[in-house]
Chain A
Amino acid sequence: NAGVTQTPKFRVLKTGQSMTLLCAQDMNHEYMYWYRQDPGMGLRLIHYSVGEGTTAKGEVPDGYNVSRLKKQNFLLGLESAAPSQTSVYFCASSYPGGAGELFFGEGSRLTVL
């Protein structure tokens, strides 16, 4: 029972490099989310998706892009990484309508030098 799986779990980038974080869920959830967690800032929503082929901006979308080509996968991309994007990134998924329980992955720790 995998639930929500994030890869990679750790990554170090240099300023200006690009990378993609992958989130995969096996619970057939419609909704998927990407959050970042920073000390003193709590969890902030980057982007979310309410279904395959759809994405929307959250609180802090600048510098990130996302894609939801398959229902089970939600990708978060950094086109040109900046030190301000050093953070722990969490993916989550739920059933639609806001009434469903939210399930989280274990997180991806990204450091941008």
Chain B
Amino acid sequence: KQEVTQIPAALSVPEGENLVLNCSFTDSAIYNLQWFRQDPGKGLTSLLLIQSSQREQTSGRLNASLDKSSGRSTLYIAASQPGDSATYLCAVPGYSSASKIIFGSGTRLSIRP
């Protein structure tokens, strides 16, 4: 059974710092891994989608990496801003049941001005 873990559950850093959020998964047979952002009271917004054949994806100040063999993904945020404050979640569908996408519990990020 696929399990997805995100540590830490919460993170607070001063504005301008570069930071890394972690996501680990137990079953390396995945189609892809997706990172989402969720603002309070809102739905989830897709940030980056990494296919299983890729090592990383970049969008603006965000860079996501994927290491299937170790069951890990990281989301790197460069030059953090207060507007980056949100909860970040990762999600993976498995090969055995690609329809069942499993989510981590998220990292709540706070950027201090």
Contacts and interface: CB of A to CB of B under 8 A. Distances in A.
Give chain A's interface residue range (CB within 8 Å of chain B). Answer: 20 to 34
A14 B89 CA distance: 32
B99 A56 contact: yes
B61 interface: no
Nearest to A6: B43
B44 A90 contact: yes
A4 B42 CA distance: 13
A104 B31 contact: no
Contacts of B71: none
Contacts of A62: none
Nearest to A50: B99
B43 A98 contact: no
Interface of B: 31-32, 34, 36, 41-46, 49, 51, 89, 91, 93-95, 98-106
Interface of A: 4, 31, 33, 35, 40-43, 45, 48, 50, 56, 58-59, 90, 92, 97-99, 101-107
Pairs A-B, 5 closest by C-beta atoms: A98-B98, A98-B93, A98-B31, A42-B105, A43-B103
